[in-house]
Structure 1
Amino acid sequence: MYLKRIDVKIIFIFTFFAFFISVAHANAEDEKAFAIAKQNACLGCHAIDKKIVGPSFQSVQQRYKSDANAQVFLKSKIAKGGNGSWGVVPMPANTKLSDADLSLLVSWILRGAPKQN
């Protein structure tokens, strides 16, 4: 009985720290994704929660949340640019972004572009 209580406490403590680490990691990724968006002029046309020239990141998340191909499609759209998805104003290509940065940026957008503290 005593051993089971210790096991439960250890599992609880491990779970708590695993959750804390995952939240901290997600926050760090969110900060990095926001920095990528800022450094690459994405925020000149897009905001997190309102339309500027292009749609808000949260609107993009809503449109593509059920699309299994959203990650691939949006990475390509950001890298190559284009028009027609949200109106007539074309989005310029972002050819300087690495595949890793594109993946991080799109993942952030598809999570609703969590705001930075």
Structure 2
Amino acid sequence: MGSHPKKEDTFGKNLKRIRYSRGFTQGDVARRAGGLSQSAVTQIENDLKEPTLGTILKLAAALNVPASKLVDLNSRTTIDIGGFEKASSFDEVDPVELKKALALVRHLKRLKVIE
């Protein structure tokens, strides 16, 4: 079975399943992600809050998994890319976050989810 997303899974369900498989609490994930509260992790897991692209990348790093393991490409989960859209140049985006975002975009292109 593994930790591959199922068709009906949401981002929150994927996050929770992977967190459990790693033996982490929501607080552990929040601390490891840096800049996230336990409350935010709870809201995301319960699909009460849509994660931003930056948050997805932080959560993936905290769980030591590729972001694509968290994002079910068949789900209707919305990813907020507002932080990247609002930046007037790439200079305003954290270089580490930008590198992770570009890696995710390349992965999605290979899967032919985006062009």
Q: Which has the larger radius of gyration?
A: 1
TM-score relative to the length of structure 2: 0.32
